[in-house]
Each structure stands twice: as structure tokens, then as C-alpha cells.
A and B are shown apart, each in its own frame.
Chain A
């Protein structure tokens, strides 16, 4: 038969059932037993009866024909006949599949340019769900969600498949910049050679990919493109207008004021006039219209009022991606979190005063009795060692070392400088922001020998005066001079320098803004036991404190738990919604210690460009499967159809066999039937 293939020809052996059925019909049937009071007269009457023959000529009955047909259908089904795709609607696929769905969850997928008006991601998610629902028992499904990171979900059985569908149905776009190249590299590792691997990329096409990775993928890639429907059919060239950049810095000459810089980009093929509004603390501060050429950008700047704590820039041009039409910046955290500082010094005077004026600072002073360690059970954000070496295992905090000893100190020295003067300054180093060291004398200062990991901030002719270092992976700032021998404490530059040092070593844990999809790594205060993040939609997530994943401290040789010595941090990756996020630190009993906020901005120079990559289909078309399935994958199994037909015939046969018997049972009881 053309287009029909028997995958298991051995199943034809089952046709041996046909003669068996005929043989069974040739046997004399066993009649129903009938009790009689005696056989004496029947034995005399039936002496010449010949019921000895065990077989008879096969009766040509409809029952026999039906049973023969059933056996033939089942035997044919056992051979697993597979038909070409033209018959595929009648049967099931021959081999299990492995479907890998690459679901684009980048920022551009939030665009609302779909036929239904929903976002590109929702449309893509529905398409992914449809692919997963199409699978059956034995198939394997893998969903790779592309965002700033890559999330993989897999199902290998029916239960997992249901769970995967449920998870897909509630999946939210992670946002950020999708890295298709790394996702395809991951997909290459996920392929299952013994299955029919199928890769489906559901995206808006606004992606780039390395053609070399695609060519070596090992499976064909089906591209399902979503979005691209223009909002205004009369202006198909109108594209997306986005705030792609927003930053603020102190105004030159007036540190109390800040200058705001914003970049507005037009990703369409038509010039647009974009009304841009600046809101300071929710109140409109400025408004202007900016003409943007096709594909052009405009850099705008404003000087903000001194007391501004948050600023938002909004582009009021209607476009498919409203999420990137505004960007915000947190200029000042309204944080009431305390800054716990341990000062180890025998003469803490100037240092203690400079530290205590820091906002929220709680300073604890300890003498240098040679056994100074961080008190057990209490953590500090900053530990200051004045004229004393830190312990061999320094506390898990940032360190400020003041005039560490030349002998036995943590840094090697090479003599000393007498009457050192600052001659070298780190350009634009934030430690020196607002610090005027003119006329400052530093007294006798050891000449510290710096290696490649340490950087000089302020130096004299003979060596560094202020430098950055890392001590046991802890950020450390070293003031090489002795506070008692310098006139710096009498200058206004001293508290500014200490404030800058504290700000650098214990930076504000919340960034002013994050790109969409970028994870937030947050180091809470020492008293915090967990961190609660409230998304713009009101969803709250409690994050228990864990070790900073970016820290990679070596495990101590003595086997002590390293976590006690490492900085604690939480990571919050669900930043797929643009807007303002609230962060609250909670203690062990759940009371709020303080909090802050950060902003996630959707605008991105690449992601806000919603136009699909025209080269993407051609590049993906170069992906070819390398594995050869054991059977042609363009065939469909017909055995379910045959089995279904056999079952129908079986039911018919059963009806034919039982209905006459039932009808007989309704007739009057025949004679010679006993009660027993």
C-alpha cells in the first residue's frame, strides 16, 4: 500500500489467531446442563446417538466472521502500520518527541502590538502552551525562558506535563535583554538524541544570534514570531519611543543641586514630536517637546531642585511599548537603617567624632588590647582599626585601617616617609569628592608597598597615603598616616573624607535604578533577618538572608563555617515589571527595621527597538538536525484506529452473542430443568 509502512512486521504472527478462531467454532459447543431425576430412560433412548465427534464443519455465521475480522484488525494493529502525513489525522505520532520551547521573555515582549491587544509575551505564552498541550505520554517538553537570565523548565512524564502547563499559564515575563546565543548553546546540551528533537523559538524577532551557534545546534529551529501589528494602521512606520537612559549627578559648582540627564530614542521609521515631562517627587517639574528624527535620539538635561528625592521622566508619545515610556530615579533613600560601626582605638577622639556624625551611625569603641575580635553574635557594617593590626581572621565587615603597624601589619612596608605631602590624587575617585587636601601635613608615614590588587587614592612622593585594598576579600580603605601626627582632623576635609570612606565601604544597598530584568543584589543591615520586596503590582516576596553569591571566599582550612565571616546578601531576580519596588528589612520576629526603594526602568537602547531582526529567520534556517531517528518522523501510527475498530466490532459481537441468550431467558422455562 502506498504510503503505508509496517513498523513491526513480526506482528503478523498474530494472524495465527484466525485458524484458532475457526477451530474453536468447529468444536461442538457444550450445551447448558439440565438436571433430570433419572437418566435410566434417556440412556436407553440415546444408545445410538453419535455425539462423539469433537469437531464439525465450521458454521458460516456472522459471529465467526466478526471474530475473524477482530483478530485480523488486532494482528494488523500489532504490526504498527504507519501512514504518511496525509493520513496522519487518523492516528498518532510514531515516536515520542522532545519539544524545546524557547520563550522570549525580554523587555520588548511587553509590547502590545498583537492582534488581540495583549502583550507579545502573553501571545507567545499561549503559543507555548499550545505546543505543550499537543504533547502526549512519552514526550518530553523543555521550556527555556529567555530574559536577563535563562530559566529552564522540563517535563518528562504526564504529571510533569500538567505541572509545566500550570506553570506556563501563570508565567510572567522576566524582562531584560534576551541572550539567544547562550540559550541556543544551552539547548544544544539539552537535546535528546534518541528522541525527535524539535526546537521552537517563540519571539518577537527583536533578537540577535551567533550564526555559528545556530549552525551547530543539532536540531531544526521553528521560528514563531509574535507582535509587529502597528497601532495605527495608517502609520505603519511609526515605532517605539523610549526613555533609554536616565542619570543624575551633582551640579558643577553646587553640590547641593543635581543635574538630570535623559536620553529619548525614536525607534520608528517616521519622525515624531515627543512630549517629555519631568516629574520631581510626583509633581510635574518641567515639560518640553522634542522632535526625534527616524531612528534618532535626543539627550535632554535639567537641573533638579536640591531636595528632590525621586524623579520621573515621561514620554507621552503613544507607542506599542508603554513600559519604556517613562524612567525614574531614586535620588535619595529615605532610609532609617542604622550604620553599626566598631572603632578599635586607644585614642578614638577625632575618628569617633567623625564617625558619629554619619547618618544613622551607632559607634562602638574598643581599646586595642591585642585581642580585639568582632564580638560573637553581633555584626557591624564597618570596623575601624586605628594604629593596630586587624586580627588574622578579620570580621565579616568592611574595614577602615588607620596607620596599620609597619611591623607585623597586614601590608609590607619599606621604610617611612617624614613630613609626607600629598602629591598624587586619584582622578574622580569618590573618596575624594569634596575633600580638599591642600596644606594638609601627614607626619611620619610608613612607605607601604602595594601589589597589583591595591590602588592608590592619594600618594606622596615616597609612597601611598590613602589606598584601597582587600583584606580577606573584604573591601578595605587604608589611611596610611597617623591621625595624631597630621593636621587633617582640624580640617573640614576630615569628616568629608570619613563620610566618603563610609559611603564607599558601606554603600547604599539599593541602587537608584535597575534595568528591567536585572537582578537586585542587596546587602541589608546587620540586624536584618529577612528582606521583603514589594513589586509595583503589590506582590510581596520575603527573602531570607543568604551568603552573597558574588563572594567567593575560600573555605577555611580549619573547617569553620565560612558563612559567619561572609557578607550577607539577598538576590531578587523578579524585576520584570517596570516601576518602583519597595524594600523592607525585617528582624527575626518580623518587625520592620527600615526600608528603601528602587526603580526598574524598561527603557533599553536595544530592547526598546521592537523591530524584528530581519536576518533572524535566515540564520535560524541554517539549523539542521544531526541525529537520525530510528523511524521516519513524518509517519503517523494507525494502530489506535485499528484497535478502536476492533473494540467496536467486539462490542457488536458481544451484543450478538448475548441478546439471543437473554431473549431465551425471557421465554418460559423449558422442560426437564430441575430446581437445583
Chain B
């Protein structure tokens, strides 16, 4: 933990580092208590995607490690050096000792760094981007701590310079520093970024897509997810939302509860829309958002993708980690 603490102190002591969120100094992404909890977690995979020998995950493969796993009858081609002669003496049959092999995961994280992520509804909650970076940091921390290979690729309309692939605990601090220094990249295009990223990866692994998913219609995302599934990737979609995106009635701050005309400005494109948020308009809004969420969940289920929705007002240390655990993403 000594690796992390000085880093966190340096971040907190930097007065020029303004969060831009109400002018407050940005809190560190993680504190010591959270990191201690994260160190006890380990990533899980539904599928066998482990590779290599450096990790701590048990592999189905049997190798030559001193860790005994099982016996098997000798067959032609087996390494006769692994014949257990003691068993032969007792049972008068040739048996070969099988050892257990540990492997690591390839964890790929695509982080949505669009302007729409850099938004929050009120000062006392973090922006979606901050919340997403914490989630990415937590997953990456767990993976690195257990010697999994981690790559983090932020994207806007295109991929930005990524972190990793990195492996080992020594890469924890650079990973956290990398996340701290990330800034929004402007507009976003998830299908394009996803296609670009996959085109350079032949070996499948675990892919986390952390985004607000506002960059494309669910159908377009569906195609990308299908492609992932066909290539053998285990995909997890982490959907980050602000509560006000689901509860637009908070927009009504007019006198005596009357709706006040508002001019809405989209943060990514600057497009403006003037309206009066009447109950009718708000109902239609809720319907549209509900339909959108339903479509996303349907698409994820259809493509066998784990879908996890995170609200930025949820306490990260308790609720989110518990949710990850319940979904079987970590153990």
C-alpha cells in the first residue's frame, strides 16, 4: 500500500488541480480502505480465457508444476518422466502425475471519455466520467493485483492512447495516475471505437465497456456486441448514468412548481433546444428513456453480455462492489 499512498497524497495536495466540479479540489479516485477491499477480490470469468503462466487463476491445463492435481493412466506420448513409480510398485500399473497450472486473464477496458460523460446533475455527486474512472480503476486494480494483464483504452470518436497491456502489482500506481490524468475527449462513437480496438486484437479476453451508451442506438451496439461474442470475447457492459437522466422532473424549479421555460444545450454538440418541461413532456421523456434502457438490456441479453448499470449517486465502496460480486464478476 505504500505504493499508493504517496501518490494519493500528491494528488490531494495539488491545489492547481481543480475538478471543475463546482471548483472543488478533486478527491482521489480511491482511498486506502477501498484499495484494501479491492485487494481481497479477484476477477472471475464465465469462460476459459486464461492464458500464460503468471496469473493466479487455476487452469484446466495440467502441467509440470509441483502442485499435484491428479493421476492418469500412462498413455503413449506421455512424458515418461512423470510416471509415478511408487504407484506402479503398489498397483502394478503405470500412472502419470498431473500438476495444476495457474494462468492470467487478458482484461481489456474501453472507457467512454466523451463530453456527455463529463456531466453531473448536481454538485454533490461525481460526474459520470469520474464515476466510470473509479469503476475502471477498481477492476484494473483487482486484475493487476492478481497478475492479470490489463489494457485501458479511452475513446471518443476514436481511440485515445491506451494504458497497457500491463501486468503485475508494480503497474498499479501508473494505472491510477493514468486514470487521474484522463480528460474528456469530445464527441464519441462507440461502435467505431470498438471495431478499431478489436481489429488489432486476435486473442480474445475479457472486455469491459464502461460508457453512458449515448453515442449510438441500441441496434448499432447490438452489432458490435454480436461481433465480440462471435470472436470469443467475454464482454461486460457497465452503463453509467446520472439520476437526473432518469428523473427529469427535477428540471422543474419554477415558482410554485410551475414549469419554467428552459433552453437545453447538449454538451457534446452544443445543439440547443428550448422547451417548457410540462408534465406531458416529462412523461414522454421518461417513456423514451425507459424504452432505451429496455432496448439496451435486451440487446445485451441477446448477445450474452453481462450488463451492469451504475448510478453516480450510489456509494461506490459498498453498493458497486457488492453488485460486482453478485453479478459474478469478482469473487
Contacts and interface: CB of A to CB of B under 8 A. Distances in A.
Contacts of B263: 30-34
Contacts, number: 120
A671 B267 contact: no
Contact of B123 (A40, A46, A49, A669): A669
B262 A31 contact: yes
Given A29-B261, A46-B281, A674-B120, 13 more contacts: A33-B263, A33-B264, A35-B267, A37-B117, A37-B119, A37-B242, A38-B266, A44-B284, A671-B244, A672-B251, A674-B267, A675-B118, A676-B20
Contacts of B283: 45
B208 to A, nearest CB: 21
Nearest to B212: A37
Contact of A41 (B22, B119, B121, B285): B285
Interface stretch (B1-9, B166-174, B268-276): B268-276
Nearest to A46: B275
Interface in B76-124: 116-123
**Residue from the set A31, A32, A45, A676 with the largest chain B CB neighbour count within 10 Å:** A45
Nearest to A28: B261
Contacts of B324: none
Nearest to B253: A670
Nearest to B129: A675
A51 B121 contact: no
B262 A45 contact: no
B323 to A, nearest CB: 22
Contacts of A41: 285, 288-289, 292
A39 interface: yes
A667 interface: yes
Nearest to B120: A675
A253 interface: no
Contacts of A37: 116-117, 119, 128, 212, 214, 242, 245, 266-268
A43 interface: yes
B227 interface: no
Interface of A: 28-46, 49, 51, 664, 667-676
Contacts of B281: 42, 45-46, 49
A31 B121 contact: no
A38 B214 contact: yes
B260 A31 contact: yes
Contacts of A668: 122
A28 to B, nearest CB: 7
Given A37-B212, A51-B261, A672 B276 contact: no
B222 interface: no
Contacts of A667: 253
Contact of B127 (A46, A664, A670, A675): A675
B282 interface: yes
Interface string B238-269: 00001011011011010000001111111110
A31 B261 contact: yes
A51 B262 CA distance: 11
Contacts of A669: 122-123
Contacts of A675: 20-22, 118-120, 127
30 contacts: A33-B263, A33-B264, A33-B265, A33-B272, A34-B251, A34-B265, A35-B265, A36-B119, A36-B265, A37-B242, A38-B214, A40-B288, A41-B285, A41-B289, A44-B288, A45-B284, A46-B273, A669-B123, A670-B250, A670-B251, A671-B244, A671-B248, A671-B250, A671-B251, A671-B253, A672-B262, A674-B119, A675-B20, A675-B22, A676-B118
A671 B121 contact: yes
Nearest to B261: A31
A641 B260 CA distance: 40
Contact of A49 (B247, B266, B276): B276
Nearest first, the 6 A-B pairs at minimum CB distance are A671-B250, A45-B284, A37-B116, A670-B253, A45-B285, A46-B275
Contact of B214 (A40, A49, A51, A674): A40
A670 to B, nearest CB: 4
Contacts of B268: 37-38
Contacts of B262: 31-32, 34, 672
B130 to A, nearest CB: 10
A39 B244 CA distance: 13
Contacts of B285: 41-42, 44-45
B121 A672 contact: yes
A32 B265 CA distance: 10
A51 B214 CA distance: 26
